[in-house]
Amino acid sequence: MSNKQQLEDKFYQLQEMLTDEFIERIKTGDAEPSLLNAARQYLKDNSIHASLKQDDRLQDLVSILPFKDDEDDQKEAIQ
């Protein structure tokens, strides 16, 4: 295995661990505002938007965050 491949594997492992940690802390209610903001920025930095596959671990994180979409705000304003 090349050094580049080893680094990529470590990156993906770290990304998976970080995602799992965000999910766990948010689900247990141990997420302070700074952690929620970090999770939001993490999703943004990874170009995660509303169009995710249902089996994606990042979708799990998106689904438990207590943030509204701009579209939700617009719908409420119309009603």
First to last CA, the chain: 58
Please enumerate in sequence order all residues whose Cβ is within 8 A of that of 43, keeping only pairs 6 or more positions apart, or say none. 58, 61, 62, 65
Q: DSSP code of 50?
A: S
Helical residues (DSSP H) of the chain, grouped into ranges: 3-27, 33-45, 57-64, 70-78
Q: What is the mean pLDDT of residues 28-51?
A: 87
Mean of per-residue pLDDT scores for the chain = 81
Going by pLDDT thresholds of 50, 70 and 90, the confidence category of residue 30 is: confident
Q: DSSP code of 15?
A: H
pLDDT for position 71? 57
State both tokens at 39. 């999770």
